């Protein structure tokens, strides 16, 4: 397998944008969000061998995600023959999920004549412990964004189907709507930041603020390239303006959008949401350079928010249950920090 770069971070923190930027380098191939670690395989300290049949099925799902998109995994049987050929690439004697993932990455890099793979799955943030051990030569970019902007983007994310992501099924819009609640989003932001900060001093890891990239893209990208051991190329910043939760995709417009920071100040979040955000994220927010502002929220509104959290959390778990290999382990990693 070629060298790897993992772009991780809280959802809606700019991981997809950074993946596009890195994919603009002549040596890098950026994969779709593969969701291998957690959804397809629950990482373990001692990966167990799997049968050839299971390995082939796993490779077929990865191929389907990469070729046809995350929501097309029911078509995985169409890739059985190619998946079987990938399994043949795994050195004997044992086939494990990590070795299968390595073979898949190597196969795709070879097909695209690239030397470096970039996995931009945000939730890999919660598996940094395992990934740093599995891939000691890999580089990691940890994206950080103002939690208030993350909250606003998550609040509007269910609208992505109307803003350009036409391949997104309607039921995913429902799942995304159910997944938004200010308490949930802030707890996840806090735990994600703690997971990334744990390795902030590791030379393989670059912790990067979304806002710094937007306001000073060339200087910040040079820093990222230095960590990733890539030669800086200004053409990497020539990316389409797509993926926003707030406005229509504009693929014909290129470059990073300078208006993408501090959108929360323009409205969209209630005083209750802002108060909850600043209370929960507190010290983590301040440590990363985000300033809390005076907010006044009524006790009644705060009480109602807590009540709705129970309902929204239960609904979100129900709609996401089938997407996670181990729900208990997933919750532990997110809520125990």
- Please report the pLDDT score of residue 111 as a whole number: 96
**Angle between helices 52-68 and 80-87 in degrees, nearest 10:** 120
- Please report the pLDDT score of residue 167 as a whole number: 74
User: What pTM does this model have?
Assistant: 0.92
- Please report the pLDDT score of residue 166 as a whole number: 74
> Is 277 within 8 Å of 154 (Cβ atoms)?
no
Regions of the chain short of the pLDDT cut 50: none
Where do the domains of the chain lie? 3-27+115-335
What whole-number distance in Å separates Cα of residue 121 and Cα of residue 39? Answer: 11
What fold, for 3-27+115-335? Rossmann fold (3.40.50)
> Is 120 within 8 Å of 33 (Cβ atoms)?
yes
HEC string of 305-333 equals HHHHHHHHHHHHHHHHHHHCCCHHHHHHH
- Please report the pLDDT score of residue 333 as a whole number: 79
């Amino acid at each position: 397998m070629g060298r790897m770069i993992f772009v991780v971070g809280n959802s809606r923190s700019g991981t997809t944008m950074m993946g596009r930027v890195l994919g603009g380098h002549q040596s890098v191939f950026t994969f779709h969000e593969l969701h291998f670690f957690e959804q397809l395989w629950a990482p373990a300290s001692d990966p167990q061998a799997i049968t050839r049949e299971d390995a082939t099925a796993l490779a077929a799902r990865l191929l389907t995600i990469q070729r046809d998109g995350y929501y097309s995994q029911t078509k995985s049987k169409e890739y059985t023959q190619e998946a079987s050929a990938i399994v043949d690439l795994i050195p004997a004697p044992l086939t494990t999920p990590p070795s299968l993932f390595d073979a898949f990455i190597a196969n795709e890099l070879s097909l695209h004549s690239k030397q470096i793979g970039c996995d931009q799955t945000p939730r890999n943030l919660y598996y940094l412990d395992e990934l740093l051990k599995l891939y000691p030569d890999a580089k990691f970019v940890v994206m950080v964004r103002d939690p208030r902007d993350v909250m606003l983007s998550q609040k509007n994310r269910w609208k992505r189907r109307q803003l350009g992501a036409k391949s997104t099924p309607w039921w995913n819009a429902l799942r995304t709507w159910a997944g938004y609640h200010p308490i949930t989003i802030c707890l996840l932001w806090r735990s994600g930041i703690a997971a990334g900060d744990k390795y902030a001093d590791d030379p393989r890891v670059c912790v990067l603020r979304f806002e710094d990239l937007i306001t000073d893209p060339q200087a910040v990208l040079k820093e990222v390239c230095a960590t990733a051991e890539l030669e800086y190329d200004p053409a990497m910043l020539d990316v389409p303006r797509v993926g926003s939760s707030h406005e229509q995709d504009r693929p014909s417009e290129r470059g990073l959008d300078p208006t993408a920071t501090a959108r929360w100040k323009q409205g969209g979040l209630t005083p209750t949401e802002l108060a909850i955000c600043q209370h929960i994220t507190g010290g983590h927010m301040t440590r990363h350079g985000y300033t809390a502002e005076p907010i006044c929220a009524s006790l009644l509104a705060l009480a109602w928010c807590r009540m709705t959290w129970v309902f929204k959390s239960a609904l979100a778990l129900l709609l996401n249950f089938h997407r996670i290999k181990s729900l208990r382990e997933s919750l532990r990693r997110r809520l125990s920090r």
